[in-house]
A and B are shown apart, each in its own frame.
Chain A
Amino acid sequence: MPIIETNEGPLWKRRTSTRQWLIWIGWLIGICIAAYAWKLISDKTIWFFVQDAPRQMVDIATRMWPPSFDYMDKLWGPVWDTLNIATIGTVIAMVLAIPIAFLAARNTTPHKLVRAVALFIIVATRSVNSLIWALLLVVIVGPGVLAGTIAIGFRSIGGCSKLLYEAIEEINPVQVEAIESTGASRAQQMLYGILPQILPTIAGVGVFRWDINVRGSTILGIVGAGGIGVQLNASINVLAWTQVSMILLVILGTVFISEYVSAKIRHAII
């Protein structure tokens, strides 16, 4: 915070003028990029439909009311499937993520090359959305819950491994040295020196990821990979709006409950 001496005494300013200019240039570049992006998007927009949107919203909202509560009978199965996709997907992800995390952590990796491969797996699985995984898996194993489960599992490997290997790199090395000094092999060091230190992280990451996966598994049905998304897609396609609003309510409830449960468990662990 510079103070500039003027004829009328010292003047307080928040920033130096160079810094002020840099910030202005940053804003200018940012606004130019945003304006250009806006132009490109608006060129591809049919504005008639956008002007029509408020009417459409009112129309669909009135058609959605009241939610068809009778339809709930047919939704218990899909909700159960959705939760299964999330849970078993998370288990698959954790089972695969823990060894990959050990291979990717600087202090436990057997070789630099192995670390590079493990990091590549982490980045590649993380960058491909679960919907894309589901799209491909539906082709391979056929439509249904299995495709969704594997898709959620694959998508989560990267996210879980990343958090786990960071935890492995931050462990207390003294405990591992103590185990090493007893003459333990490398596997025993990992089992008795490292694993107990990261167990709370493993549990925390698993629950955290499960919460994300419940949300993610509600949409996989759009490409045919099971769960409540199948019903959502079907109801939207036949314009059964009262069923759609019921499904949205169910998703809202499921996600809230899963968030509550995961917050409670994480609170208990940490």
Chain B
Amino acid sequence: MAAIPAKTGRRPSAARRGQGIESRQRVRDGATSAFMHLVLLMVAVIVIYPLVWVVGSSFGPGGGLANATPIPENATFDNYVHLFTQTNYGRWYLNSLYVAVLNMVGSVALSALCGWVFARVRFRGRKASMLGILILQMFPSFLTAIAVYMLFLNFGLLDSLTGLALVSIAAALPYNTWLMKGYTDNLPASLDEAAAIDGAGRLTIFRKIVLPLMRPMLTFVAITSFTAPWMDFILPRLLLQSNSKQTVALGLFQMITDQYSNDFTTFAAGAVALALPITILYIVLQRHLVTGAMAGAEKG
């Protein structure tokens, strides 16, 4: 598993400034320190400015891109009101939520079960199926998406949110299974064996013993599969068609590419409404996310 916890602290300060440093050294230290802070400040401005700009625009008094400013003079909530009353944004939001919840539940349940079977049960064809999963996982999901699109098109299955969720679950399943398997491999098997001796069935062992231990990886898969549908563009663009079936990402893209709307501030409000919950989620759960990404890489 990730040998490195993502927690980033400062190094132990035991070696903080030795006593016998001469003052010239200290001046040079001061100059270096000032320079480093200057660099950090510049990076921070570059990082923050676009975000402040779009948040400011979303409160701006309206209209086109040319009038967008980071700090609007007479701030208003009009854009948000307009967004939820005049456009289909609320509908899109619910659509995204539906797909996200379905994707999360399905991904976690299926990948936990499959990962656990691969890690703990020895059966014929195990190596072959795991190799198959590895290969499928390499196949970028949008390549399957395009084939799925052609199939759905000819069978008249397009424009279904549930279909979109199913395709999303399947697309991420090999990778998630691989993560779960890797995590379960590292859990002590002695608990399982003890429970088996006590007469617990396989599914009971899975539910009562392994699943609680898998919680960190379950959390990781849950977060990633919940947030992915909000940002995914290719799959929904291919599989959804009617305006009332769009997801937020699709709707936002249309808002900004529609040359005739010239309604940048509404877009800005929509962007903020989409970004805010996800950003907060990521910042709060950052440790889980970075650790999970490391685990995925180590397992290939």
Say whether A and B bind each other: no
B contact set with A: CB distance below 8 Å: none
